[in-house]
Amino acid sequence: MQKRKLGNSGLEVSSIGLGCMGMSYGYGPASDKNEMISLIHAAIDRGVNFFDTAEVYGPYVNEELVGEALAPFKGMVVIATKFGIQMVKGKQMLDSKPETIRKSVEGSLKRLRVDTIDLYYQHRVDPNIPIEEVAGVVQDLIREGKVRHWGLSEAGVETIRRAHVVQPLTAIQSEYSMMWRRPEEELLPTLEELGIGFVPFSPLGKGFLTGTIDKNVKFVSSDFRSIVPRFKRENLEANQVLVELIKRIAAKKKVTPAQIALAWVLAQKTWIIPIPGTRKLERLEENLGAVDVELTTEELTDLNDALSKIEISGDRYPEGSDFAKRTGK
């Protein structure tokens, strides 16, 4: 497995990480814990050393799963987790008050079975707490040895700049794929300027870019995609044009659509580390195979030209929802 550095931080991780959320949260019923531990171990066997989780996934159970799975590999892996979203009476609430961050870090350290969190993200920007105050608390945690690096998830460029002045950021996490290219407008140029790494989640468009989802798909209510406009029947049908494009390129290069989608993300910048999630060994191996797929400059130019002519139907979050309101702040 090839390695990449997250910006100027010096933090080196596998070129593709593993998003662990879906193992226990967000995509239907949780999978068997022992099977997921075996899958995480399989990822390590194949060179993956970068694992992503969060306090709110479950809540808590995903961190516990990751902590148990990675306990035998202390010092050999990089674990990213997140603070800033609390569950209150079954509803997600933003909370980045200093005392809440301190409580969160202690809980995460315990569940992850580590002395230091490698990469600690603010999960979503809390509009009630100045980002400088959040950065100051994280700076204290770094001085205390409880956190090594920090980042922001789904933050806007102004917030990123303000945070970076107080305590340099190692990584920004946001959605990015052939299906969602908004980060190219402001975010990626800002990260390049500041020397901050980028960790895209949903680089496979929440599964759509694998070519295995069509208009007849049915999602259970505990699968987040059941409320996402992008996954409504009419939008799934309209967006097949993107999948057909990816399938044509994949067939030409004798690889899978998922591998083309991930190779495209990897080809954008050397400091981008996607974190596709999966529960299946064959999908894990398929995803990791993307590091060996080389897209030439000409192929990328042609692909980007074709992508620019495709208009994606459906938003990535329900309009007016808390999910939508929390991005780009």
Catalytically annotated residues:
57
Quote the tokens at residue 290: 């993307």
CA nearest 68: which of 45, 34, 43? 34
Tell me, letter by letter, the H, E, C secondary structure of 145-202: CCEEEEEEECCCHHHHHHHHHHCCCCEEEEECECCECHHHCCHHHHHHHHCCEEEEEC
CA–CA gap between residue 101 and residue 180 (Å, rounded): 30
Cα–Cα–Cα angle for 235, 239, 243, rounded to 5 degrees: 145
CB 172 within 8 A of CB 155: yes
CA nearest 303: which of 167, 177, 130? 177
For residue 313, the 8-state DSSP code is P
Rg (the chain; Cα; Å): 19
For residue 240, the 8-state DSSP code is H
Quote the tokens at residue 185: 């407008």
